[in-house]
Structure 1
Amino acid sequence: MVRTVGVEEELLLVDPRTGEPRARSTAVLAVAERRSAGPSAFEEELQHEQLEFATTPHTRMRDLAEEIRRTRAEAAQSAAAAGAAVVALATSPVLVQPSLGDGERHTWLADRFGETTQEQLTCGCHVHVSVESDEEGVGVLDRVRVWLPVLLALSANSPFWQGRDTAYDSYRSRVWGRWPSAGPVEVFGSARGYHDQVRALMETDVLRDPGMLYFDARLSHRYPTVEVRVADVCLNPDDTVLLATLVRGLVETAARAWRAGDPPDATGVSLLRMAAWQAGRCGLGGDLLHPATMRPEPARAVLDALLAHTADALENSADRRAAEKALSAVRERGTGARTQRQVFARTGGLGSMVAECVSLTRG
């Protein structure tokens, strides 16, 4: 049986001419609600300058690709009717003072976490893959953790922050890491170990609810899925599909290893943080830490290792050739971070760069 996969994407709302973020989420959601024949796919996010959507679960990647493109187009139409545009950038290149969303939860976050909450205008991509049980899900989490920095590098799409080039390919990952519960996690060993750790974290009273467990990958608290949360939102929708394809391949590979009784890699959280930092700093433009050795190797070699590691699972789901082709395309043109820098070098302005990325968002 082929596992289902779904995607959540967060998008920026911007002025279509200047590229400046626009606090228009309430208006955009109202337009989307009027246009929708059923429940709207869109939701508010932490800041009024953001919009989020979630796809339905799919077994065929071409169906997922169609829904992502269609929903991005619907988001663009609703935003245009509200005087804005949507763009798939993981941070705002242009200077911005984000506008925190309404509601008691947002007020609590601002009071509890101060500037960390106020500055969090970041857009990620979350991939959900179905699992049969919490035990299988935790078996997967324990075995995919060393590969998650590679997915971050592949999706890197946030080189600019508050009007400046940060020298990182994914600066979103650095900003997101300021939450106390964000980042890589230890090996849990069992569903009981996972839930014991969740309970211990909640009993600290630092967090409001389990939705604030911002692990790089976790058991979803809403669906029977493993939720991989490490990635930037991808500028090119094809890269989102590639990301989802590889995540499903990793989940299936890990589940098979768990069923076979193969122990997970015991790499510690400190090394995983180093690997994530390296991935966010260099993207695919330099070395990554190889998951098998935690030593630097060229990104191309690490991507080859990822394909080899998931090859049987990708073959089983009939995704291997498409994944190889899509990965070759990313290697050729680069990630969203590289595209942003190239467009900025050509146009000479961050606003112009954002405006061009608005069209690239729709593919």
Structure 2
Amino acid sequence: MRTLGVEEEFLLVTPDGVPQAVSGAVLRFASLDPPAVPGPGTDEPGGSIEKEFKQEQVEISTRPRHSLRDLLAEVRAGRELADAYARRAGARIAALGTAPQPVESTVLADRRALEIRARFGQTAREQLTCGCHVHVEVADDDEGVVVLDHLRTWTPVLLALSANSPSWQGRTTGYASYRSQVWGRWPTAGPTAPFGDGAGYHGVVADLLRSGTILDDGMIYFDARLSAHYPTVEVRVADVCLDPADAVLQAGLVRALAETAVRQGRRHDGHPRTELLRAATWRAARSGLSGELVSPAAGLPRPAVDVIGELVDHVRDALVDAGDLELVERQLGHVLRRGNGAVEQLAWRAEGAQDDEVVRRAVDRTVPATTQD
């Protein structure tokens, strides 16, 4: 069974719900304690608390796991650990794709981050968003590209399930995932055309670097890419999820898509044009689970619940073989009943919650006092 792992980005917020530039302090506290699990430079990737582009956020990552239940336990433990270090710095972590209130965010005080801010201007200055990235194991770059070329069709559905950023700079945007709209300003962000094989993928990356537009291959921000450090495909389209089980749902679906892709090889039915994928991704960001999505099978608008059913049917054999079908279907049922993070945030607003209360409720959902499967 393919291993998989999750990276999650979180806002650091004060007790009254305002993003706070304290990542340096949080990381210093983390560095003083022995690592709870192997981190960078050890035999296994992940299992660490790391910096992000802005000082108002941190990232956690898991180790490679085979079992979704084990992955869920590690995601929960990572959130609890990050929140414990944030508390020492007078803050909490919040799994929000964007902050609800107006924010003047602060880039890291390192050379690369400052160069990105200088080169990319307002795009970099406003870039305070939090995503969920799933890594799934592949044998080599050629197999990885088979996975990339196949799952690109389904990334809008993954975005719709995870959408958790309806607000931006003090306004309700009308989007379920406004994070994806902000993130899409970067020159390499978004869906990609098929690469064909590993050489084709690396040729595109080399051309982007040769163009002088981006600093390095760390700025390859495709919705899904080959990892530069590990033998994995990294799917980056999702918002960070309020519920840790929703992050693991993303992982289970990504692994099933990867396995389905490899089983089908290059025999799957065609590749939709990138322009159509961009439109489908925009539509998923706009309405999330509350409207229609573009059906990958038909290319037509259909109710979100029907398109999610298409995804499950598409990967059902892989889910069964991995022993993941029951957990994935149960968690999908939870999401469809209560909604994604955007639906929850808007419901809090409808109850009268202001920005600070939205953030406090998000903190409680990020690190719940009690957990259950």
- Deviation by residue 1:166-215 (Cα, 9 ceiling, x = unmatched): 00000000000000000000011111111111111111010111111100
- Deviation by residue 1:49-86 (Cα, 9 ceiling, x = unmatched): 00001100000011100000011011111111100010
Q: State the partner residue of 2:60.
A: 53
Question: Which 10-residue stretch deviates more, 29-38 or 212-221?
Answer: 29-38
Which 5+ residue runs of structure 1 have no aligned equivalent? none
CA RMSD between the two structures? 1.1
Between the aligned partners of 1:233 and 1:15, the Cα distance in structure 2 is 19
Q: State the partner residue of 1:274.
A: 279
Between the aligned partners of 2:269 and 2:4, the Cα distance in structure 1 is 23
Asked if the contact 1:344–1:352 (Cα under 8 Å) also holds between the matched residues in 2, the reply is: no
Q: How far does residue 263 in structure 1 lie from its aligned partner after superposition?
A: 4.2
Residue 303 of structure 2 is aligned to residue 298 of structure 1: yes
Between the aligned partners of 2:24 and 2:269, the Cα distance in structure 1 is 44
Between the aligned partners of 1:90 and 1:194, the Cα distance in structure 2 is 29
Question: Which 10-residue stretch deviates more, 192-201 or 5-14?
Answer: 192-201
Q: How far does residue 35 in structure 1 lie from its aligned partner after superposition?
A: 2.9
3-state SS of 1:53 partner: strand
3-state SS of 2:129 partner: coil
Between the aligned partners of 1:318 and 1:165, the Cα distance in structure 2 is 40
Residue 26 of structure 2 is aligned to residue 4 of structure 1: no
- Deviation by residue 1:260-286 (Cα, 9 ceiling, x = unmatched): x40453211110000000000000000
Asked if the contact 1:146–1:267 (Cα under 8 Å) also holds between the matched residues in 2, the reply is: yes
Q: State the partner residue of 2:106.
A: 99
Q: State the partner residue of 1:34.
A: 32
Asked if the contact 1:19–1:94 (Cα under 8 Å) also holds between the matched residues in 2, the reply is: no
**Distance change (3 Å), C-alpha of 1:37 and 1:107:** closer
Asked if the contact 1:128–1:227 (Cα under 8 Å) also holds between the matched residues in 2, the reply is: yes
Q: State the partner residue of 1:142.
A: 149
Asked if the contact 2:35–2:48 (Cα under 8 Å) also holds between the matched residues in 1, the reply is: no
Which amino acid counterpart does residue 34 of structure 1 have in structure 2? L
Question: Which 10-residue stretch deviates more, 276-285 or 340-349?
Answer: 340-349
Percentage of matched positions with identical amino acids: 49
3-state SS of 1:215 partner: coil
Q: State the partner residue of 2:339.
A: 334
Between the aligned partners of 1:37 and 1:292, the Cα distance in structure 2 is 46
Q: State the partner residue of 2:163.
A: 156
3-state SS of 1:114 partner: helix
Instruction: Give the one of 164, 185, 193 matched to 1:186.
Output: 193
Between the aligned partners of 2:197 and 2:54, the Cα distance in structure 1 is 36
Question: Which 10-residue stretch deviates more, 346-355 or 49-58?
Answer: 346-355
Q: How far does residue 9 in structure 1 lie from its aligned partner after superposition?
A: 0.4
Q: State the partner residue of 2:18.
A: 20
Instruction: Give the one of 47, 70, 73 matched to 2:77.
Output: 70
Q: State the partner residue of 2:366.
A: 361
**Distance change (3 Å), C-alpha of 1:37 and 1:139:** closer
Question: Which 10-residue stretch deviates more, 175-184 or 99-108?
Answer: 99-108
3-state SS of 1:3 partner: coil
Asked if the contact 1:143–1:264 (Cα under 8 Å) also holds between the matched residues in 2, the reply is: no
Which amino acid counterpart does residue 136 of structure 1 have in structure 2? E
Between the aligned partners of 1:21 and 1:59, the Cα distance in structure 2 is 35
Residue 176 of structure 2 is aligned to residue 176 of structure 1: no
Instruction: Give the one of 209, 221, 231 matched to 1:214.
Output: 221
Residue 354 of structure 2 is aligned to residue 349 of structure 1: yes
Between the aligned partners of 2:170 and 2:64, the Cα distance in structure 1 is 37
TM-score of the superposed pair, with normalisation by structure 2? 0.95
Q: State the partner residue of 2:207.
A: 200
Between the aligned partners of 1:37 and 1:216, the Cα distance in structure 2 is 30
3-state SS of 1:89 partner: coil
| Pairs aligned (count) | 359
Residue 246 of structure 2 is aligned to residue 239 of structure 1: yes
Between the aligned partners of 1:263 and 1:327, the Cα distance in structure 2 is 25
3-state SS of 2:114 partner: helix
Q: How far does residue 293 in structure 1 lie from its aligned partner after superposition?
A: 2.1
Asked if the contact 1:143–1:265 (Cα under 8 Å) also holds between the matched residues in 2, the reply is: no
- Deviation by residue 1:104-161 (Cα, 9 ceiling, x = unmatched): 1011101110010000000000000000011110011111101000000000000011
TM-score of the superposed pair, with normalisation by structure 1? 0.97
Asked if the contact 1:93–1:350 (Cα under 8 Å) also holds between the matched residues in 2, the reply is: yes
Question: Which 10-residue stretch deviates more, 38-47 or 274-283?
Answer: 38-47
Which amino acid counterpart does residue 9 of structure 2 have in structure 1? E
Which amino acid counterpart does residue 57 of structure 1 have in structure 2? P
Question: Which 10-residue stretch deviates more, 292-301 or 5-14?
Answer: 292-301
